[in-house]
Amino acid sequence: MELGWLLWGTAVLLLLHVLMELSPAVNFVLRIGFYYLLCIVVSALTVPVCLLVNGGRTVKNMRIIRTVVRTFKYFFGLRFEVEGLEHFKVEGPAIIVSNHQSTLDMMGLMEVLPDDCVQVGKKELMYAGTVGLVIYLGGVIFINRKSTTSAKMVMAEVAKTMATDNVKVWVYPEGTRNCTGDLLPFKKGAFHLAVQAQVPVIPVVYSSFTTFYNPKTNLFTSGKIKVKVLPPIDTKGLTSDDVSDLTERCFRTMRETLFMLSGNPSKAKDSS
């Protein structure tokens, strides 16, 4: 009986392997399905660890979550090449902004996430089962993107949290996922927050995923992701009148870096 189950299991695995090789659609569905399953199972196992170690919701839990998620890359054949981590070593709070490409960004985030850093995420994530629970315990600040009033109130609370808890805040200024190999126009909330709190903005750029991940074409293979942490942009002395210029400056710098990291130097030159 045990031998029979073993043979059946082997046959199923071989069949799935053949289908993944022959069909990009099957390969994509199975890989992304495994990714979601991994997130659910691992978060369920991590929740009690966070509660036992730190007792509840605190940014300190991100150290545990970061350690666990950093193992995900080995399941999917992803390699990270990181440059500029020293730029995170600024005294006091800061706003960290990065490009936002796909659901896989969580792996990239945890690869470089500094200590004492909270993320701003969409409110819908709160209801994502065990995943929502574990990131809640990690101190993620949830924002209702559909309500401008609510978003402003949350940002005001974030400013207060930065000052009282001395933490950095990670924001995706594009506001939504964008896997096109370019950047969407930046929303100004993060930059208003930086100017209001008079804290530096630290840009982080991930190379384009399009060479190994593209849901539109059912592409999901192994690949290398280049990450560059750029020098902090000082906001001391800036006012609300300077927010537009600050936003545009950050956008241009990050876009040029994105093209360079992704192997498109001609586009980088055009964007500067």
Over residues 63-84, mean pLDDT? 96
Which pLDDT score is estimated for 180?
87
What is the average pLDDT value for the chain, to the nearest integer? Answer: 87
Which pLDDT score is estimated for 177?
84
Over residues 98-121, mean pLDDT? 93
**Which CATH number among 3.40.50.300, 3.40.718.10, 3.40.1130.10, 3.40.50.720 corresponds to the domain 46-271?**
3.40.1130.10
The answer on pLDDT for 100 being more than 70 is: yes
Q: Is the Cα torsion angle 74, 34, 258, 89 positive or negative in sign?
A: negative
Work out the pLDDT band at 267, boundaries 50, 70, 90: low
Which residues have a Cβ under 8 Å from the Cβ of 150 and sit 6 or more positions away?
A: 143, 144
Q: How do the domains of the chain map onto residue ranges?
A: 46-271
Q: Encoding tokens for residue 151?
A: 């978003």
CB atoms inside a 10 Å sphere around CB 8? 10
Which pLDDT score is estimated for 212?
93
pLDDT in tens, 143-190: 876 666 666 677 777 877 787 888 999 999 998 888 888 999 999 989
pLDDT: which is higher, 64 or 146: 64
Q: Which amino acid does the sequence have at 50?
A: C
pLDDT: which is higher, 132 or 151: 132
Strand 78-83 vs strand 223-229: parallel, antiparallel, or unpaired? parallel
Which pLDDT score is estimated for 40?
95
pLDDT: which is higher, 152 or 68: 68
How many helices and strands, by DSSP H and E, does the chain display?
10, 9
Report which secondary-structure segment, H or E, holds 16.
Answer: helix 2-22
pLDDT in tens, 185-236: 999 989 999 998 899 999 999 999 999 999 989 899 999 999 999 999 999 9
Helix axes 105-112, 61-69, angle to 10 degrees: 120
Q: Which of 87, 58, 64, 94 is nearest to 200 (CA)?
A: 94
Q: In the block, which residue shows the tokens 């059912």?
A: 218
Q: Which amino acid does the sequence have at 49?
A: V
**For the stretch 193-209, what's the b/e string if a residue is b when 16 or more beta carbons lie within 10 angstroms of its beta carbon?**
bbbbbebbbbbbbbbbb
